[in-house]
């Protein structure tokens, strides 16, 4: 099992993912929000690469069943029903609904990885459940950090390192790359207090400044959910 980590989606193009098993991480906040939405009964999430496409796609869907969600530069987009705070995605709001979702980093990373054979979404909330499933699959894994406006970000890298660590624990043979070894090193240095780490990162600081400090608590919860979001047919659903 070869485990590789990409610290930014800009490093590769879409075709890179053909035939791969990929995990997308955007801790602050898209991958956390997606895990929450599905855990709270959303029917599916349709990730899109542009705001314009989100509006277009949702227009062709059944009004009452579809919600627009996401953010641009941390803030809710005008005309969207939901922003990108996981706590907005309650069962009352999203239960049974299709969410068309755009975010600056996460949804675009998912769209970029759409040609993967298997495409999963990971946050701190569901990391153990996902690792268990990946170990059963026993395929090479590409862990794609969504990053921060194409740049490296610490929180996605620490989560990637934690996932690598989960995947290698108790196994004898694994092939690690410079990037997966480095992610694991960052997890070991910063993974002991996830909330503290999140609140000190560049993106965490920006969220606090913009009034989304409470989101960091939700995003730092570890293994409190067992849903595995799986991308198939242009939408993310719970893996059954």
Task: Please tell me whether residue 186 binds a copy of itself under the rule CB under 8 A.
Answer: yes
* Shortest Cβ 189–a copy of itself spacing (Å): 5
Which position among 178, 192, 233, 240 is part of the footprint of a copy of itself (CB under 8 A)? Answer: 178
Task: Give whichever of 81 and 206 is closer to a copy of itself, judged by the CB atom.
Answer: 206
* Residue 73 to residue 185: CA distance in whole angstroms: 29
* Shortest Cβ 191–a copy of itself spacing (Å): 12
Task: Give whichever of 28 and 236 is closer to a copy of itself, judged by the CB atom.
Answer: 28
Task: Please tell me whether residue 14 binds a copy of itself under the rule CB under 8 A.
Answer: no
* Shortest Cβ 179–a copy of itself spacing (Å): 4
Task: Give whichever of 100 and 160 is closer to a copy of itself, judged by the CB atom.
Answer: 160
Give the x-and-dash track for 93-132 against a copy of itself (CB under 8 A). ----------------------------------------
Site for a copy of itself in 152-171 (CB under 8 A): 152-155, 157
Task: Please tell me whether residue 181 binds a copy of itself under the rule CB under 8 A.
Answer: yes
Query: How many residues of this chain bind a copy of itself (CB under 8 A)?
Result: 26
Task: Please tell me whether residue 179 binds a copy of itself under the rule CB under 8 A.
Answer: yes
Place of tokens 């780490």: 197
**Checking DSSP bridges between strand 118-122 and strand 2-6, what pairing results, if any?**
unpaired
Site for a copy of itself in 130-149 (CB under 8 A): 148
Task: Give whichever of 137 and 181 is closer to a copy of itself, judged by the CB atom.
Answer: 181
């Amino acid at each position: 099992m070869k485990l590789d980590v990409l610290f930014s989606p800009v490093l590769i193009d879409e075709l890179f993912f053909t035939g791969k098993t990929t995990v997308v991480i955007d801790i602050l906040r898209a991958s956390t929000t997606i895990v929450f939405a599905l855990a709270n009964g959303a029917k599916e999430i349709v990730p899109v690469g542009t705001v314009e496409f989100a509006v277009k796609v949702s227009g062709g869907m059944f009004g009452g069943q579809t919600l627009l969600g996401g953010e641009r530069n941390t803030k809710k987009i005008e005309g969207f029903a939901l922003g990108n705070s996981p706590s907005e995605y309650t069962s009352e709001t999203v239960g049974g609904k299709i969410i068309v979702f755009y975010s600056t980093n996460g949804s675009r990373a998912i769209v970029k990885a759409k040609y993967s054979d298997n495409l999963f979404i990971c946050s701190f909330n569901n990391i153990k459940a996902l690792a268990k499933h990946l170990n059963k699959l026993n395929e090479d894994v590409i862990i794609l950090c969504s990053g921060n406006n194409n740049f490296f970000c610490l929180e996605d890298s620490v989560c990637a390192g934690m996932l690598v660590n989960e995947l290698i624990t108790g196994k004898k043979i694994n092939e690690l790359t410079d990037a997966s070894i480095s992610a694991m090193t960052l997890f070991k240095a910063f993974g002991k207090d996830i909330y503290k780490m999140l609140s000190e990162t560049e993106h965490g600081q920006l969220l606090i400044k913009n009034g989304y400090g409470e989101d960091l608590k939700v995003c730092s919860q570890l293994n409190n959910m067992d849903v595995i979001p799986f991308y198939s047919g242009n939408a993310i659903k719970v893996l059954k």
